[in-house]
Amino acid sequence: MKHTAKTESLNAFIRDAMKRFSVPGVAVGVLFDGEEYAAGFGVTNVRHPLPVDADTLFQIGSTTKTFTATTAMRLVEAGKLELDAPVRRYLPDFKMQDEQVAANVQVRDLFTHTAGWAGDYFDDTGSGDDALAEYVRRMADLPQLTPLGAAWSYNNAAFSLAGRVIEAAAGTTYERALTDLVLKPLGLSMSFIMPTDVMTHRFVAGHIVENDKANVAAPWPLARSAHAAGALASTARDQLAYARFHMGDGAAASGERVLKAESLKLMQTPITMAALGEQMALSWFVQDHGDVRVVRHGGATKGQLSAFLFAPTHGFALTVLTNADRGAELHREATAFALKEFLGVMPPKPKVVRMDTAALSAYTGKYTSLLSDNELYLEDNRLMMSVTPRGGFPTKDTPPGPTPPPTRLVFIGPDRVRALDAPHTDLQGEFLRNPDGSVAWFRFGGRIRARA
C-alpha cells in the first residue's frame, strides 16, 4: 500500500489499544486511494489460541442489518417488495399490541428504527425454517413505547421482522435470500450466516473482560430468529469488498450488476434524525464532517464487535473486528484515529457546560429498558450514572452480565451528556422531553430508556 506509514501507525495504535483494553484478537481492513490493506493481531481464543489474520471469521453483529437492507433492495428492484407498502401486504396476520401500528407500519420503517415498539427482544424460537415466523408471532406481546415514527430508538426486533418480510417476498428463507441475492453475487465467499458453515474455518470466540482478564464467552451463536438483525460472520477482506460495492455503481467486482446506482444512493440518503447528530438512512447511519460524509454501522454479539464505515466521495473504508466486549472502546478510539490519519477528520471535542446542583437534580432518577436500568444520581455535586444489566441477550433468558463501574456525566449542550469513565468513556446520551417539558426518556447507547 502506498500509505505504509499510515497503516503502520494504525497497527501500532491497535496493538497498544489491545493491551489497554485486554482484547485478545483484532482484524483490521483499510481501503484508501484504490488500494486495500488488511491484517490480523492477537489470537482467536484464549483457551485454544490461533493467530488472527485478515481471513479469520468474526461475528459482525448488527452490521448484518445493512446486508438485510441490501437484500431487501434487490427484491425492490425485482418488483417483489415495496418500501412504502404496509408490512401486512406481505404478512397479513401481523399483530402488535397497538393495532394502529400493526396496520400502518411500513417496510421502510423497519430499516430506520422508528417503529416505536420495544426493540431489544431476543427470543430463541428454534433452529427450524419457521424460526422467524414464530418470532414475529410472539412480537404481538411487545409493548409500544412511542407512537409510530415519533422517536428514534435502536430496534433489533424490527430487523427480525424485516427478515420475515424478505422471506414472504422472496418465497424462501431469509438465509437463502441473503446468500443468493447478496453474498454470492458480491463474491463474499468468506461471509456466512449459518454457524455450521462458520465452524469449518478459522473463527474467533467472544470474550468478556473482567479485572483486565479476558474470559471466553458463551453461547457462541445467536438464535436463528436474530439472524437478520445480527448473525453474519465475516472477515476483514470480505468487509472491504462489501464496502467497495456500496461505494460503487452497483456492480460486483465480477462486473455483474447487483443493484442500480440509484438504489445504493437511496440506501445512503438520510430519511430521519437518529441520535446525537447522526442521520438515519436505510439501515445506514450518516454523518457529515465538513465535506467528508461518513456512512457507518457496527455491531455487537456475545463478546464480538465490529466497526464498519466508509466515506464514498473519498474512496475510504475501514473495518475493525474484535473478540472482546471492551472492543467497543477500542473501536471508538481506532475509528477516530483512522479518520484523522487518513482523511484529516477531527470532530471538535464538545465543551463542558457547567450546571449547578439544582439544575442537575432535574435529571436524576431511574431510566429503564429491556436490557438494562440506568440510575442517575448526584454525588459531590456531580451527575453520576450507574448501569445495572438485566440480561436478555443473546436470548431473552440469558442472565445479566457483570455490572460496570459508575461513570461521571457532564453536560455538553441542552439535554445532552458525555460519559467520562470506562467502559463508557466519551459515549454520549440525550434526554427527550414530554410535550409539557418534563423529561420522559434518556437515550443512551442508541436506546430510549423510560424515566420511572
Cα distance between residue 166 and residue 164, in whole Å: 5
Q: What is the 3-state secondary structure (H, E, C) of 67-94?
A: HHHHHHHHHHHCCCCCCCCEHHHCCCCC
CA–CA distance, 243 with 200 (Å, rounded to integer): 25
Kindly state the DSSP code that residue 37 receives in the 8-state scheme. Answer: E
| 145 contacts 117 by C-beta, under 8 angstroms | yes
Q: Which three cell numbers stand for residue 57?
A: 471469521
Question: Rounded distance, CA 390 to CA 370, Å?
Answer: 7
- Cell numbers at 222, concatenated: 445467536
Which amino acid would we find at residue 79? G
What does 219-249 look like in DSSP terms, one character per residue?
--SPPGGGHHHH--EE-HHHHHHHHHHHTTT
Structure letter (DSSP) for residue 58? E
Asked if residue 298 lies in contact with residue 305, where contact means CB atoms within 8 angstroms, the answer is: yes
Catalytic residue among 62, 225, 283, 372: 62
Element (H, E) at 137: helix 131-138
Residue 163: its H or E element: helix 156-170
DSSP-assigned states of every residue in 425-443:
TT-EEEEEE-TTS-EEEEE
Exposed/middle/buried for residue 227 (C-beta within 10 Å: 0-12, 13-18, 19+): buried
Joined grid coordinates for residue 425: 468513556
Cα end-to-end distance, the chain, whole Å: 54
Residue 42: all three cell numbers together: 492477537
What number of other Cβ atoms are within 10 A of residue 213's Cβ? Answer: 10
Q: At what angle do helices 327-343 and 4-21 cross, to 10 degrees?
A: 160
Secondary-structure percent of the chain, ordered helix, strand, coil, rounded to 5: 30, 25, 45
Assess whether 62 carries a catalytic annotation. Answer: yes
Q: Which residues are the active-site residues?
A: 62
